[in-house]
């Protein structure tokens, strides 16, 4: 009986550890996605974060991988136009992770996403979103299949 209990506790602890590792991976992926896509304006790594059929709901709009690339390219053009090419623009992201769960093959996370926008070192805007993401485990690792983003209106 002791062997059974010890084995059960070991397996339960291993499963709990795996869930923690997955949840930490979800946090890492969210942080890196926003840094690389919307701060660094690099759309070349979409395949490393998003499924082929990825969907984003934000502010009443529906986006997919192609439209995310268009958004990033439009931002690059806007920041490199004649009016802005001599200015330095920054987006600084921070997150408050609220909860996450994984069953080993799929998972979700929800969090608060904050961004500070700077131009030439001066803060010009701050934004706050409440977001959730669904993850699918693929042969290449975790990928985000769905992201829902709601702008939080400060009171």
pLDDT band at 3 (very low <50, low <70, confident <90, very high): low
Query: How far is residue 27's CA from residue 29's CA, in Å, rounded to a whole number?
Result: 5
pLDDT band at 80 (very low <50, low <70, confident <90, very high): confident
41 is written with which tokens?
Answer: 């304006």
Render the burial of 86-104: b for 16+ CB within 10 Å, e for the rest.
eeeeebebebebeebebee
Query: How far is residue 152's CA from residue 45's CA, in Å, rounded to a whole number?
Result: 28
Query: How far is residue 94's CA from residue 115's CA, in Å, rounded to a whole number?
Result: 6
Q: Does pLDDT of 1 surpass 60?
A: no
19-36 pLDDT per residue, tens = 489 999 999 999 999 999
Long-range contact list for 56-62, CB < 8 A, 24+ apart?
Answer: 56/146, 56/147, 56/148, 56/149, 57/146, 57/147, 57/148, 57/149, 58/147, 58/148, 58/149, 58/150, 59/149, 59/150, 59/151
> What does the mean pLDDT of the chain come to?
89
58-78 pLDDT per residue, tens = 989 999 999 999 999 999 898
90-118 pLDDT per residue, tens = 999 999 999 999 998 999 999 999 999 99
The pTM for the full model equals 0.84
Q: Does pLDDT of 48 surpass 60?
A: yes
39 is written with which tokens?
Answer: 């701060």
Q: What is the pLDDT of residue 42?
A: 94
In the sheet with 50-58, reading across from the earlier edge strand, the strands are 61-63, 50-58, 141-151, 122-138, 106-119, 89-102
């Amino acid at each position: 009986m002791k062997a059974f209990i010890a084995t059960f506790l070991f397996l339960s602890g291993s499963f709990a550890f795996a869930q923690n590792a997955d949840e930490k991976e979800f946090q890492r992926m969210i942080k890196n996605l926003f840094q690389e896509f919307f701060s660094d304006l690099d759309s070349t790594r979409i395949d490393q974060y998003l499924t082929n059929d990825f969907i984003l709901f934000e502010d009443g709009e529906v986006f997919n991988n192609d439209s995310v690339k268009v958004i990033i390219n439009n931002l690059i053009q806007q920041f490199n136009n004649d009016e802005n090419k001599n200015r330095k623009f920054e987006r600084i992201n921070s997150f408050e992770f609220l909860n996450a769960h994984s069953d080993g093959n799929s998972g979700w996370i929800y969090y608060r996403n904050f961004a500070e926008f700077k131009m030439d070192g001066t803060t010009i805007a701050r934004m706050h979103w409440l977001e959730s993401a669904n993850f699918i485990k693929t042969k290449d690792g975790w990928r985000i299949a769905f992201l829902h983003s709601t702008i939080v209106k400060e009171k």
